[in-house]
Structure 1
Amino acid sequence: MGLFNRVPADLKYFEDKVQSLAGQMGGLRFGASPPGLVQELAAEVRQEAVRLRVRLTAEGRQGDLKTLRKAILSNGRFLDNGTYNHVFYPFVESIFP
């Protein structure tokens, strides 16, 4: 992760949660992850993202939100192109418009 994508300490837990979801999404393609687990994790991440966006907006921390989004997208680069472009990237765009 580059210097400019440094996520604030209080948002690191969310970055880790999305990274875990990315790993599960990558495992779907090879049958290593059950679809139900991925759906459950995605719903949990989506709910947490809504709460996080509201909190950061109320605190005037839109810059931190943008940094978090960039870091999450760059961390997902380990996925193959199909999973990244068709599953992970659209998911991140839906939770951080």
Structure 2
Amino acid sequence: MATPTATGPTPTLTDEQFRLISRALADPTRHEILNTIGQCPGSTPCSTIRPEFPLSAATLSHHMKELETAGLVDSRKEGKFVSYTLRRDTLQAYIQRLAQI
């Protein structure tokens, strides 16, 4: 998937990307995690996400990996800490494609 600039076009999703996003969003926990990240104006440290969900670190890590694999979030590692940013362009592309069904 092409990564557009802030003023660039919405990316076009492949069938596989569409499937991965659908699978990621089908899980209520991942949906809520994505909502939590989306409420922050910039990147969200994992330490901010973790207290919101009664999950083990391993389970949260699994959910975050699924969201990242689907292209819904970007991660940035700073030392041993990770921050996540919602890929609004990818989410918009998903919504547009979903509306075409």
Class of the TM-score when normalised by the shorter of the 2 chains:
0.3 to 0.5
Q: Which has the higher contact order (CA 8 A, sep 6+)?
A: 1
Structure with more of its chain in strand, by fraction: 2
Q: Which has the higher helix share?
A: 1
